[in-house]
Structure 1
Amino acid sequence: MNYTGSPRPPFRFRENERLSSSPQGFPFPRRSPHRCALKLPRHMISDASGGRIVLISSISAHRVNYPQPQAAYNVSKAGILQLRASLAAEWSQYGIRVNSISPGYMDTALNEGDALAPCRQIWADRNPMGRMGDPREMASPVVFLCSEVAGSYVNGADIVDDGGGLVF
């Protein structure tokens, strides 16, 4: 499993800014999972052991975030979904299953502080469960996707773990 998060503040794209030049969000969350996902399978393939790769995307790959502007982050997380689909198709012949999880807003250190208090309230209000997720709630989907039995036929899937946030 690999996850990339960054405590950088949200930002807006400036006119004529290239995605590749953006220092806050685009290259980092997309590059890191890509690098990890490409190095690990070499061992899985060479020793014919197969394996499971779980990429962590975000609900930001499925919708525009509100109220914070973070287009580059959203695009990078959407890229992880395509990476998951492509690798699942290419590597299943080696017994490697590649899936992803798209968590909603999680109550982590990245979302702490007085400056984000209004955002946290908006995020909770826009969720049918009325709250942000607890990071421990991501453990069960990861265990399922890595299971030899329960998730053995799941490949190329994205599990949205957001308390129903996408329905609003």
Structure 2
Amino acid sequence: MSALCQLDDLLTFIEADAKEVPFGNDVVFHACSFCVGINLPEKLAVLRECARFARPGGRLIWTEVTQDAGDPYYPLPWSTTPDGSHIETREALIKQFGKAGFAILSVEDETGAHLELVRQIKQSGRVPELPQVQLNAAVLGPDFPERRQITSRVLEMR
């Protein structure tokens, strides 16, 4: 992926169980999780691990789809079946952050902005370029574009 984005000289990847990351305590200033939690059956354990390696005053940005719009309609972009999806309500997610030891500084619902972006892309007629298609297929499977369209349509109906 990093080679496709021409970032391979700038990035180092460490593969590990998210519940047991090979970092010492209090070593990371900033961390970001972009839609990872939806794939984690033991989210609280992962959040506790993040709190362990975060430095005092450090920040964790966590973005995640929640179940606040209602029950999901499968296939989803990240999972074709319920057993591969671990979404929950915003309130339940916030409680887990508190249990893990995090102070919540802000919570933002970006559903409207996401739907607006989907509408703009649709109206523009823009088609994803080959590297983006390859990246999505490599990470999420070749049927990802179809699953993303289904999810966008379902959200627009709610």
Whether these two folds match at TM > 0.5 is: no
Q: TM-score, normalised by structure 1?
A: 0.37
Higher fraction of helix: 1
